[in-house]
Amino acid sequence: MFKNTFRLSLLLLIAFAYSLEAKEKKVLFLAGKRSHGPGQHEHRAGSLLLADALNKSKLGIAAKVINIWPEDLKEFDDVDSVIVYADAGGRFSEDKLKVLDQRIKAGMGIMFIHYGVHPSKNVGQKYFLPWIGGYFENRWSVNPHWTADLVPKKGHPVSRGISKPVIANDEFYYNMRFPKDCQECYSLVDSMLTSERLTRYNNLWNVHGDNGFGKRQTLMWCRDPKQGGRGVGFSGGHFHHNWAIDDLRKMVLNAIAWTARVEVPANGVHSAPITDEQLNQNLDGKPRTPLKKPSTYEILKMPAMLRPKDPANYNQKAHYALVAKKKENEKKRKAAQTGDVTKPELVDTSFLKVPEDLEVTVWSRSPHFYNPTNMDMDAHGRMWVTEGVNYRRYRNRNPKGDRVVVLQDTD
């Protein structure tokens, strides 16, 4: 009798353990190759951080990270969700897209992060709209850097554990190409956009981006079909250090769990804070200075970039040149106002013959005077300078004529 009871208990225990194992959810990260400098587009390092958090969440999730595509398609067997963190939508061939499409139609979830939401237009129309309900389209969507206050959809599992807007500065793409009529497609996370928050206009800026100021922009979206797998797109993920922002990481982990049809806890998917040491592990290259978690203060004090006047004909090179010129002019203006000579500016002497024990520094510059032709010092230490401001091509630059300028060092 005892032996039979023991055998029955053992069988029940084995069956229970098997049921637990069968309920385990599998998440597979497809991490792209290196494409940017250290700390940017860290597909592998970012995927490893997120996968580690999922594996330690005690939600019965087994997450694995591989390079962009498995050598054996059996890797996709029993996978509940695939996370593509790679450039240009992964640049998958048609055969690979068909593999994903078949799995998604059978119920596998999928999520694309950052540049992952930017496939070709044809791939976006054919696959991304049915999978995740939106994608980045050239000459329609934009890719600036800006400071967002991310607010998740109220009542949705993605919002669990997040009680206030999440502040982050990233290359948050917006104005995605969404389907015109899709009841199962909706925004998961959005943010108000203002020109004062935009810190860098990038190469794909256009009039649609300019028209987005003063409006809430969708930064995470989804398609939740009655049949097939759930799909999510998230436009953030450019800067690796942002994964150290706890609520931003929680928001993304919640979304991943939701695509795998895991019940997201009331407090969201828990993950331990990421240390600076962890943040600098597995990077594609060594950054000039170690990465660290950005503080909200540091993020909010980031200055806005000069707004382009003609977004319909935006030229990044010309705009950046204008920004640099204005910065230099502002620097000169402040220097002229303050007269600060406590730290003299050294002059490049590579084209001069200067004794080894001497240095050449800037004593004065425009707008104090223009085109000096002669100068001399008097007994009081004042510099007398004659200008040829209207000489040749600068004729009529100053209608009052040329001058003799007296400059004095007062400190």
User: Which pLDDT belongs to residue 305?
Assistant: 97
User: Which pLDDT belongs to residue 357?
Assistant: 66
Same domain, yes or no, for 20 and 135?
yes
Same domain, yes or no, for 249 and 345?
no
Q: What is the mean pLDDT of each run of 10 residues along the chain (411 residues)?
A: 50 46 86 96 98 98 97 96 98 98 98 98 98 98 98 98 98 97 96 98 97 98 97 98 98 98 98 97 95 96 96 95 88 72 69 73 74 83 82 66 79 57
Q: Is 390 left (phi over 0), alpha (psi -120 to 50) or beta?
A: alpha
User: Which pLDDT belongs to residue 356?
Assistant: 67
Q: Residue 144 falls within a domain, yes or no?
A: yes
Backbone angles phi, psi at 47, to 5 degrees: -65, -40
Q: Residue 244 falls within a domain, yes or no?
A: yes
Encoded tokens for 186 = 């909706």
Host H or E run for residue 29:
strand 25-31
Dihedral of alpha carbons 351, 354, 356, 360, sign: negative
Encoded tokens for 195 = 């020109």
Q: Residue 332 falls within a domain, yes or no?
A: no
Residue 54 CA: distances (Å) to CA of 69, 201, 251: 21, 34, 13
Same domain, yes or no, for 383 and 255?
no
Q: Residue 247 falls within a domain, yes or no?
A: yes
Spatial separation of the C-alpha atoms in residues 46 and 62, rounded to whole Å: 17
Encoded tokens for 152 = 């998740």
Rounded to two decimals, the pTM is 0.78
Break the chain down into helix, strand, coil percent, rounded to 5: 35, 20, 45
Same domain, yes or no, for 344 and 294?
no
Backbone angles phi, psi at 168, to 5 degrees: -155, 145
Same domain, yes or no, for 34 and 132?
yes
DSSP sequence for 149-194: EEEEPTTSGGGTT--SPEEEEE---BS-B--SS-TTEEEEEEEE--
Instruction: Taking each helix axis as running N to C, give the angle between helix 246-259 and helix 43-55, from 0 to 180 degrees, rounded to the nearest 10.
Output: 70
CB of 172 closer than 8 Å to CB of 153: no
First to last CA, the chain: 105
User: Which pLDDT belongs to residue 384?
Assistant: 86
Same domain, yes or no, for 365 and 294?
no
Q: How many residues does the chain have?
A: 411
Establish how many alpha carbons lie within 13 A of residue 342's alpha carbon, considering only the half-sphere containing its beta carbon.
Answer: 2
DSSP assignment letter at 28: E
Report long-range pairs for 56-59 (Cβ below 8 Å, ≥24 apart).
56/271, 56/272, 57/253, 57/257, 57/269, 57/270, 57/271, 58/270, 59/25, 59/257, 59/262, 59/263, 59/265, 59/269
Report CA dihedral (210, 211, 215, 216) to the nearest 10 degrees: -70
Q: Residue 132 falls within a domain, yes or no?
A: yes
DSSP sequence for 96-165: HHHHHHHHHHTT-EEEEEGGGG---HHHIIIIIHHHHS-B--TTTSB--EEEEEEEEPTTSGGGTT--SP
Q: Is 92 left (phi over 0), alpha (psi -120 to 50) or beta?
A: beta
Same domain, yes or no, for 187 and 38?
yes
Q: Residue 324 falls within a domain, yes or no?
A: no
Query: Cα 356 from chain centroid?
Result: 48
Query: Cα 313 from chain centroid?
Result: 24
Q: Residue 307 falls within a domain, yes or no?
A: no
Burial of 259 per CB tally in 10 Å (0-12, 13-18, 19+): buried
Tell me which residue range forms the domain holding 358.
Answer: 339-408
- Cβ neighbours, 10 Å, residue 178: 18
Domain count, the chain: 2
Q: Residue 318 falls within a domain, yes or no?
A: no
Of 248, 276, 300, the position where a domain reaches its end is 300
Spatial separation of the C-alpha atoms in residues 367 and 384, rounded to whole Å: 15
CATH (domain of 265): 3.40.50.880
Of 269, 300, 331, the position where a domain reaches its end is 300
**pLDDT tens digits for 219-248?**
999 999 999 999 999 999 999 999 999 999
User: Which pLDDT belongs to residue 2?
Assistant: 45
Of 241, 271, 300, the position where a domain reaches its end is 300
